[in-house]
């Protein structure tokens, strides 16, 4: 095996913990994880509020593409899982439509349904070359009628940027491209199409929210090698040392970072100016997570729902998860409590007024029929500056400058914001970016880092079929 020397890992989220776990598994003991927060998990942490509700930072679902990742989760959580059939919906024009929207047009009013389907047919008949941006791609794929009804308003709300500023290279399995025959069938039979999805089933930790997974992974690592409350304030590449806020200095030979790539570059001295310049061009959005703890009857319509997308402008949120459906232990015991968790995006072009967010959220939930007769007994709010790594136009060229610029100095940036690739930014992808990087550094296996370098392949059918 190759020897990467002293490895310092920045961040104890899924990426950093995946890297540390793999180093230990392969017997390379010279590593430390440095984490600013007091607990592991990063964006996949969970929180217990004063009223006894557990919250994730947004609805976290396990979409695993990897047997290795499943094994790690099993090891972390044991048998204490709850399994669910995925039920996702869109709330539009006062009704629920099953996801994916384009396959369930029969739920719309007949005039909208016929208009939307005719647009889909026209789009399929006139498909041309590659779209120049995401907005164009939507129209070319779904037609301008469906774009206007759902795809434009929803995507503007979730991304917070004009869709002409987003690229198209990031889309793989995330968006189901319409199968006209299937749509025709649902219109003819009036039967919902709810079968789409890479994993129809998902599992969730019974206790402690999604964060329980990462607590469990951290627990199998030697405690003295994972430093919490340790904020990195500078990376001195000339000296090969990381400086912490408390003044400690940590020398390294190899640096693995899961910090947001723009932050890492801003903290680093000794990088060429073009790398700094490119890193400053990275685009992201922030996310507000709003947890609403409730007591009293849950509306019957929410009995089995996992999450619902909200394209319309009267609600601030783009998605609401019925979080107590994921585990009964996400709400206080006794059976009368339940919970909703809403997500709101924020960008410079879509500012959020924090003072009015609570009032707007509760009013919209009332109007959308989500609260029923239940009483709000808790309200939890968390804002994450780095919420979504925006797949902006020019992203791949930007990354092609920044990542090799760092690697030339043996600095490897991986994970949701470390690699800035939305299409491989879930927990499984992030964790495996850490694992696959270690394989490369130690010279184990092909060392080609498929998750980082070939997102379409790891997200695609052939990879899934080979999963053992
Ligand atoms: C709203 C939302 C919904 C999501 N839904 C899902 C989902 O359904 N399924 C799914 O699998 N994934 C989901 N994710 C993604 C999931 O949270 C990420 O995949 C995962 O957390 C990324 O892991 P990471 O280690 O790359 O980064 P992070 O989790 O961001 O970890 C980075 C770590 O670095 C630390 N750090 C930052 N700065 C410093 C510093 N200066 N010094 C020291 N430490 C520092 C941070 O505290 C953090 O712990 C969602 C994310 C969001 C925001």
List pLDDT tens digits, range 335-347.
999 999 999 999 9
* Count of C-beta atoms within a 10 Å radius of residue 465: 7
| CA of 178 relative to ligand 1 center, distance in Å | 31
Cβ-contact 435, 28 below 8 angstroms: no
Nearest CA to ligand 1 atom 15: 426
Picking from 51, 57, 58, 59, the residue whose alpha carbon sits closest to that of residue 379 is 51
> Which regions of 6-94 does DSSP assign to beta strands (E)?
7-10, 31-34, 46-48, 54-56, 81-85, 88-92
| Percentage of the chain lying above the pLDDT 90 cut | 90
Q: Inform me whether the pLDDT recorded for 175 exceeds 70.
A: no
Cβ-contact 100, 176 below 8 angstroms: yes
Q: Inform me whether the pLDDT recorded for 174 exceeds 80.
A: no
Q: What is the pLDDT of residues 361-383, one digit of tens each?
A: 999 999 999 999 999 999 999 99
Identify the pLDDT of residue 127: 72
Distance of CA 232 to the CA centre of its chain: 24
Q: Which atom of ligand 1 is nearest to the CA of 416?
A: 26
Q: Inform me whether the pLDDT recorded for 453 exceeds 80.
A: yes
| CA of 148 relative to ligand 1 center, distance in Å | 32
Q: Inform me whether the pLDDT recorded for 255 exceeds 70.
A: yes
- 196 band by pLDDT with thresholds 50, 70 and 90: low
Q: What is the pLDDT of residues 14-32, one digit of tens each?
A: 999 999 999 999 999 999 9
Nearest CA to ligand 1 atom 26: 415
- Whether 35 is in the pocket of ligand 1, judged by its Cβ within 6 Å, is yes
Cβ-contact 345, 285 below 8 angstroms: yes
Cα-Cα-Cα-Cα dihedral sign, residues 411, 250, 386, 416: positive
- φ/ψ (deg, to 5) at 274: -60, -30
Distance of CA 352 to the CA centre of its chain: 20
Q: Which residue has the tokens 């200095």?
A: 249
Identify the pLDDT of residue 130: 80
Class for the domain spanning 284-389: alpha beta
Pocket test for ligand 1, best of 20, 42, 174 (most atoms within 8 A of CB): 42
Identify the pLDDT of residue 176: 62
Instruction: Read off the tokens for 313.
Output: 């402008």
Nearest CA to ligand 1 atom 53: 387
Q: Inform me whether the pLDDT recorded for 126 exceeds 90.
A: no
Nearest CA to ligand 1 atom 41: 232
Q: Which residue has the tokens 């690699």?
A: 419
> Residues 58-76: what's their mean pLDDT?
95
Q: Which atom of ligand 1 is nearest to the CA of 415?
A: 26
Domain 7-43+67-78+207-282+391-465 shares a fold with domain 284-389: no
Taking the C-alpha atoms of residue 450 and residue 402, their distance in angstroms, rounded to an integer, is: 19
> Residues 203-207: what's their mean pLDDT?
97
> Residues 287-291: what's their mean pLDDT?
98
Q: Which of 136-140, 259-263, 276-280, 363-367 has the lowest mean pLDDT?
A: 136-140
Q: Inform me whether the pLDDT recorded for 214 exceeds 60.
A: yes
Taking the C-alpha atoms of residue 228 and residue 34, their distance in angstroms, rounded to an integer, is: 6
Domain ranges of the chain: 7-43+67-78+207-282+391-465, 103-187, 284-389
Taking the C-alpha atoms of residue 387 and residue 340, their distance in angstroms, rounded to an integer, is: 19
Nearest CA to ligand 1 atom 37: 259
- Whether 385 is in the pocket of ligand 1, judged by its Cβ within 6 Å, is no
Pocket test for ligand 1, best of 60, 383, 418 (most atoms within 8 A of CB): 60
- Whether 343 is in the pocket of ligand 1, judged by its Cβ within 6 Å, is yes
Q: What is the pLDDT of residues 410-452, one digit of tens each?
A: 999 999 999 999 999 999 999 999 999 999 999 999 999 999 9
- Whether 361 is in the pocket of ligand 1, judged by its Cβ within 6 Å, is no
In 316-468, alpha helices (H): 354-367, 395-407, 427-442, 450-453, 455-459, 461-465
- φ/ψ (deg, to 5) at 325: -75, -20
- 129 band by pLDDT with thresholds 50, 70 and 90: confident
Q: Which atom of ligand 1 is nearest to the CA of 414?
A: 26
| CA of 263 relative to ligand 1 center, distance in Å | 14
Q: What mean pLDDT, rounded, does the chain reach?
A: 95
| Helix axes 134-146 and 152-159, enclosed angle (nearest 10) | 140
Identify the pLDDT of residue 463: 80
Instruction: Read off the tokens for 23.
Output: 């180093």
Taking the C-alpha atoms of residue 17 and residue 225, their distance in angstroms, rounded to an integer, is: 11
Terminal-residue alpha carbon distance, the chain: 25
Q: Where is 342: in which H helix or E strand?
A: strand 337-346
Identify the pLDDT of residue 195: 65
In this structure, which topology does domain 7-43+67-78+207-282+391-465 adopt according to CATH?
Answer: FAD/NAD(P)-binding domain (3.50.50)
Taking the C-alpha atoms of residue 26 and residue 442, their distance in angstroms, rounded to an integer, is: 9
Q: Inform me whether the pLDDT recorded for 197 exceeds 90.
A: no
Instruction: Read off the tokens for 267.
Output: 């903290």
- 171 band by pLDDT with thresholds 50, 70 and 90: confident
Q: What is the pTM of this model?
A: 0.97
Distance of CA 314 to the CA centre of its chain: 24
Distance of CA 191 to the CA centre of its chain: 31
The residue ranking higher by pLDDT, 127 or 332, is 332
């Amino acid at each position: 095996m190759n020897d990467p020397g002293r490895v310092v890992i920045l961040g104890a989220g899924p990426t950093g913990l995946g890297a540390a776990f793999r180093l230990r598994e392969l017997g390379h003991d010279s590593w430390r994880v440095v984490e600013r927060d007091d607990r592991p998990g990063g964006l996949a942490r969970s929180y217990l509020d004063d009223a006894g509700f557990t919250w994730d930072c947004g609805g976290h679902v396990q979409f695993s593409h990897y047997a290795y990742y499943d094994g790690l989760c099993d090891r972390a959580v044991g048998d204490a899982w709850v399994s669910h059939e995925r039920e996702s919906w869109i709330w539009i024009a006062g009704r629920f439509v099953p996801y994916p929207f384009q396959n369930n047009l029969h739920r719309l009013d007949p005039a909208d349904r016929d208009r939307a389907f005719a647009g889909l047919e026209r789009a399929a008949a006139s498909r041309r070359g590659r779209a120049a941006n995401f907005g164009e791609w939507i129209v070319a794929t779904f037609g301008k009628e469906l774009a206007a009804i759902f795809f434009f308003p929803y995507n503007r709300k979730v991304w917070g940027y004009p869709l002409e500023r987003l690229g198209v290279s990031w889309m793989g399995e995330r968006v189901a491209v319409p199968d006209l025959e299937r749509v025709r069938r649902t219109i003819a039979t009036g039967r919902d199409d709810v079968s789409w999805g890479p994993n129809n089933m998902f599992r969730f930790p019974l206790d402690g929210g999604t964060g329980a997974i990462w607590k469990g992974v951290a627990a199998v690592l030697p405690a003295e090698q994972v430093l919490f409350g340790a904020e990195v304030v500078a990376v001195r590449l000339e000296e090969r040392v990381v400086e912490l806020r408390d003044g400690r200095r940590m020398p390294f030979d190899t640096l693995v970072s899961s910090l947001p790539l723009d932050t890492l570059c801003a903290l680093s001295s000794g990088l060429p100016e073009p790398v700094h310049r490119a890193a400053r061009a990275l685009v992201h959005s922030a996310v507000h997570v709003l947890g609403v703890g409730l007591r009293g009857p849950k509306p019957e319509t929410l009995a089995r729902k996992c999450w619902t997308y909200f394209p319309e402008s009267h609600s601030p949120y783009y998605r609401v998860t019925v979080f107590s459906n994921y585990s009964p232990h996400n709400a206080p015991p006794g059976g009368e409590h339940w919970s909703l968790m809403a997500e709101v995006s924020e960008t410079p072009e879509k500012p959020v007024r924090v003072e009015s967010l609570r009032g707007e959220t509760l009013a919209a939930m009332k109007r959308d029929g989500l609260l029923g007769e239940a009483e709000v007994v808790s309200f939890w709010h968390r804002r994450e500056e780095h919420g979504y790594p925006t797949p902006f136009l020019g992203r791949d060229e930007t990354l092609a400058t920044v990542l090799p610029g760092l690697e030339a100095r043996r600095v490897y940036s991986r994970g949701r914001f470390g690699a800035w690739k939305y299409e491989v930014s879930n927990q499984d992808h992030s964790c495996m970016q850490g694992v696959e990087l270690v394989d490369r550094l130690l010279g184990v296996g092909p060392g080609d880092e498929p998750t980082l370098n070939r997102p379409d392949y790891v997200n695609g059918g052939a990879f899934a079929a080979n999963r053992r």
